[in-house]
Amino acid sequence: MIGEAGPNAAFRNNAAGRRPDRRRQSPRGVNDLMSQFTLVLMLLGAAILMFALNRPRMDVVAIIMMVALPMTGAVTMGETLMGFADPNIILIAALFVIGEGLVRTGVAQRLGDWLTARAGASEARLIFLLMLIVAGMGSFMSSTGVVAIFIPIVLRIAFKMRIPAGRLMMPLSMAALISGMMTLVATAPNLVVHAELIRQGHEGFGFFSFTPFGVPILALAILYVLFARRFLAPGAAAAPPARASLAQWAEEYDLAGREKRLRVAPDSPFVGRRLDSLDLRASAGVNIVAIERFGRFGRKLLQPKATTALEANDALLLDILSDSLDIQAFARANGLIEIPGSKGWFADASQEIGMAQIIVPPTSRLLGQTLTSARFRTVYDLAVIGMKHGSKAVPQGVIHEPLRAGDTLLAVGPWRAIRRLADERRDLVLLDLPAESDEAAPAGRRAPLAIAVVALVIGLMVTGAVPNVQAALIGCLLLGLFRCIDMAGAYRSIHWQSLVLIVGMLPFSLALQRTGGVDLAAGALLDLVGVAEPRFVLAAIFAATALLGMFISNTATAVLMAPVALAVASALGASPYPFALTVALAASTAFMTPVSSPVNTLVVGPGDYRFFDFVRIGTPFAFVAMLTTVILVPILLPF
């Protein structure tokens, strides 16, 4: 799939390697062209210098270039702004929205939990699994899209494991780039080289022709990252959560030991009974926080209501209000089975069940009432499990305690009910939320729909039934239709800084082509390596493609270098396939700068990277990839 910036029409016209005939141009025209070329090179050098110094911000540098490039005469202002209409820019923005949909429905959280559980306490195992999954997904869909989807997942994992995000973001981008070396449709340069082979009368590559080369490079990348990660965010420590956690609140309000989980046996007298008829709060001194029910599509948590009827095998999440209750005797008498709970106060249900600290203001109409007489749970869909008069926690029996001005209540219930409380001002004031609120999935029940939408988008991309950008936009519309994401969340999810950076750098490829700079470099390479030993020729083609890809899009690089590589093969009397494949592999070796590929650009902010972080880590592995290619390609594709 096309995840990188698409080729310009000018590059398409130049695909056959034809260079403009400067002999027919007037001296004045040649001088004007050279002046433009010099100015474009100066601007490119200035941009690289500002990127390296990290002053100003990268997106500001991109805007400066968008303003300055038209002044050289090489491109017009309209052509400079055409990047905003590039389908791949819209694709990236749409994939940010799809990624946010996976976060809001809890899919990203569950995938992150799965990765964390499989990795345990091992950062090395985590990196191995992360790179393997990302490379696998990127083999069949946009690598840029995979990164956009995985950024929130990786940020959550980094926070949960207390490791710097910078230790994981570059492995993420490297795996996404290497995914372009796995299949024919993994990235645009593969399709460009494939099309050039067919245009010149050869058979194209098969769907898995790239896999024997991509798999070894991925394996080497994992080993390399496990060694080089020590140089990413050295000495940085994960910041502790700025707010208290659920576990801390449970300790502060003396809730330890009050949470119990009982399963309703099939022969229990509770089966079929409504909660209002049981009235467990009054009869037994227990408060039902939630009901865990297992159905055909897995586990779901139900909010307890008076009309809720219990079913066999329901699990009751209870808060014990009475310290005199014998929970074992209560369970035996009512056909209930005690089951182990999670560490902390129902920590395993924190995606659906939240807590909030609420203060009772002097203007509240609840003053002097108890929680029972105020029908607190009925009105607010929340149960109060803790109370403080001033700084002193009230012992068990809070539901019968009259409310005073300044009382702090610890309420528990669905996150949506807690968020609704934020609009309340007169009777209650939302004081604080726990750290887990940042990770809660407000549309958790719609996770199957979000997964189905993403599967549809991937299917449309793999089959090519519609253009990639159209497939992604269809996904965005469906996520909105199924209420997996709202419009405000969709706009917030788009990383505008990254999009501006990509758009701002796109015009350089057209400017360099127009002024003859790209043709000059390609011609010099052809003259230099035309008579060398084939393996050295492959190395030179790889190096030229990778270096050129540092400054222009890798798709445009492939459009330029593919005909050059095939011309070199023809001059040597060799098979065109090893040379064409080398161009495709080198075009995906964009590890060396943050602007080499949108994949790198996306992780700059979340990983808190500087320009030279990519130079330090990416350049050595680019040499590893080149050496692997030069060794493997002639073996599997003989000259």
pLDDT in tens, 590-612: 888 777 777 777 777 777 777 78
Tell me the range of 14-23, 261-270, 284-293, 507-516 where mean pLDDT is highest: 261-270
Q: What is the pLDDT, as a whole number, of residue 529? A: 62
Range scoring the smallest mean pLDDT among 128-132, 248-252, 442-446: 442-446
Label residue 298 by pLDDT band (50, 70, 90): low
- pLDDT value for 220: 94
How far is 565 from 558, CA to CA, in rounded Å? Answer: 10
- Give the confidence band of 440 by pLDDT, cuts at 50, 70, 90: low
How far apart (Å, rounded) are the C-alpha atoms in residues 369 and 268? 36
- Tokens for 533, please give them: 């030993």
Class of domain 246-349: alpha beta
Binned at pLDDT 50, 70 and 90, residue 442 comes out as: low
Each residue's pLDDT tens digit, 459-495? 887 777 888 788 889 999 999 998 888 887 788 777 7
Q: How far is CA 140 from the centre of its chain?
A: 17
DSSP codes, 332-382: HHTTEEE----SSSSGGGTTTEEEEEEE--TT-TTTT--TTTTTHHHHHS-
pLDDT at 222 (0 to 100)? 93
- Once rounded to an integer, what is the mean pLDDT over residues 65-88? 85
The 3-state DSSP class for residue 592 equals coil
Residue by residue, DSSP assigns 157-225 as: HHHHHT--THHHHHHHHHHHHHHTTTSTTSSHHHHHHHHHHHHTT-----TTTTHHHHHHHHHHHHHHH
Q: Give pLDDT, residue 628.
A: 92
pLDDT grade for 21, boundaries at 50, 70 and 90: very low
Q: Tokens for 345? A: 């106060």
Residues carrying CATH 3.30.70.1450, the chain: 246-349, 353-430
* pLDDT class of 12 with cuts at 50, 70, 90: very low
pLDDT of residue 627: 93
Check residue 217 and give its pLDDT. Answer: 93
622-634 in b/e burial notation, b at 16+ Cβ within 10 A?
A: bebbbebbbebbb
Question: Residue 444 pLDDT > 70, yes or no?
Answer: no
Radius of gyration of the chain (CA): 30
Span 88-107, average pLDDT: 76
| Phi, psi (rounded to 5 degrees) for 309 | -100, 135
Give yes or no for a contact between 434 and 347, defined as CB atoms under 8 angstroms apart. Answer: no
What is the mean predicted confidence (pLDDT) over 327-356? 74
Q: Which CATH number fits domain 353-430: 3.30.930.10, 3.40.640.10, 3.30.70.1450, 3.40.50.1220?
A: 3.30.70.1450
Question: Which pLDDT score, from 0 to 100, does residue 223 have?
Answer: 93
